[in-house]
Amino acid sequence: MIEVEGLTKRYGDKVAVNNLSFTVRPGIVTGFLGPNGAGKSTTMRMMLGLDRPTAGDVRIDGTHYDRLKDPLTYIGALLDAKAVHGGRSAFNHLLCLAQSNGIPRGRVHEVLDTVGLTAVARKKAKGFSLGMGQRLGIAGALLGDPRILMFDEPVNGLDPEGIHWIRNLMKSLAAQGRTVFVSSHLMSEMALTAEHLVVIGQGRLLADTTMADFIARNSRSFVRIRTPQRERLLDVLHGAGVTVVESGSGVLEVDGGKPETIGELAARHQIVLHELSPQQASLEEAFMQLTAESVEYHAHSETPRDLRRSWGEDWTGRG
């Protein structure tokens, strides 16, 4: 378990991390999200004792990082895959780490095998591709067989096979009861990997909740309808007090409605439907919605005006 309490980091006038408190629990993958510059890396560095907090505290299974004996056996981390002495072979890099952390030599062979680098173990790390470098960094994190693992952007630059491998690795580490904390900008990947999310913006905590709850709270769920009898269906839905939104190209949308109710209403009035589908926003849409105000660096684009029209009262009772 990782416990973060009132964690704050200032660089001069800049507050990079602002009074953050959250707990990362074992047995699940927890995703760490935030726009560029939100303070994710700074938070992770403070968790590992690499940066000193201006205020607040981090405990790794109840203890401060600098008081852990052989810390790699408690927490393993991939922060910057390029932070490897390029002149050393993969084997020697891991052996040095093992020797300085009281980890047996045999473990080096095991982790090289786990990450699929056994065949290139004697090659110098500076000749490694981005993906091989990431794998070597992950081998280092796994070396001490720690109960807690932390990965900062582990899928950066990986090909689909590598991404798939890391996803399964993180899930299996969590399934073994370990604590897995991972940051990524790849939302589709995070949606497949993490069960719980901690989201920050401009150094502050924006959300600490399950993936499903995060998406439900920060997005719009609606039912999408297409029908060749649009006017009749609008009359029927209006008559039943259902709020309908026209989204262009003849598509109708009902916020928070149930497809069963709409389908039955249409059937009772013998209205043909070509589509009746529940829609849920993606993690990416929910993330953009929540963090829109805390993005530091914006690009501006022209977006078409929302041309929605609604009829009647909202049947969900929501505004």
Can you give the binding site for ligand ATP, defined by CB under 6 A? 11, 14, 16, 34, 36-42
DSSP conformational letter for 292: G
Q: With respect to ligand ATP, which residue has the nearer C-beta, 183 or 219? A: 183
Helices (H), 218-258: 230-239
Q: With respect to ligand ATP, which residue has the nearer C-beta, 157 or 228? A: 157
DSSP conformational letter for 318: -
Q: How far is the CB of 14 from ligand ATP (least distance, A)?
A: 5
Q: With respect to ligand ATP, which residue has the nearer C-beta, 184 or 219? A: 184
SS3 98: helix
Q: With respect to ligand ATP, which residue has the nearer C-beta, 20 or 136? A: 20
Phi (first) and psi of residue 316, to 5 degrees: -85, -10
What gap in Å lies between CA 9 and CA 7, rounded to an integer? 7
Residue 152 is encoded by which pair of tokens? 């900062």
What gap in Å lies between CA 157 and CA 147, rounded to an integer? 26
Paired sense of beta strands 2-11 and 14-24, if any: antiparallel
Longest dimension (CA), the chain: 77
Q: How far is the CB of 24 from ligand ATP (least distance, A)?
A: 16
Q: How far is the CB of 46 from ligand ATP (least distance, A)?
A: 10
List 58's β-bridge partners, or say none: 4
Q: How far is the CB of 55 from ligand ATP (least distance, A)?
A: 15
Q: How far is the CB of 145 from ligand ATP (least distance, A)?
A: 27
What gap in Å lies between CA 125 and CA 316, rounded to an integer? 59
Q: With respect to ligand ATP, which residue has the nearer C-beta, 55 or 96? A: 55
Q: How far is the CB of 34 from ligand ATP (least distance, A)?
A: 5
Q: With respect to ligand ATP, which residue has the nearer C-beta, 297 or 306? A: 297
Q: Which amino acid is at 227?
A: T
Q: With respect to ligand ATP, which residue has the nearer C-beta, 16 or 120? A: 16
Q: How far is the CB of 74 from ligand ATP (least distance, A)?
A: 23
Q: With respect to ligand ATP, which residue has the nearer C-beta, 164 or 185? A: 185
Q: How far is the CB of 36 from ligand ATP (least distance, A)?
A: 3
Q: Quick one: CA dihedral 238, 242, 248, 250, positive or negative? A: negative
Closest by CA to 138, choosing from 112, 175, 101, is 112
Q: Quick one: CA dihedral 182, 185, 186, 187, positive or negative? A: positive
Burial class (CB in 10 A: 0-12, 13-18, 19+), 154: buried
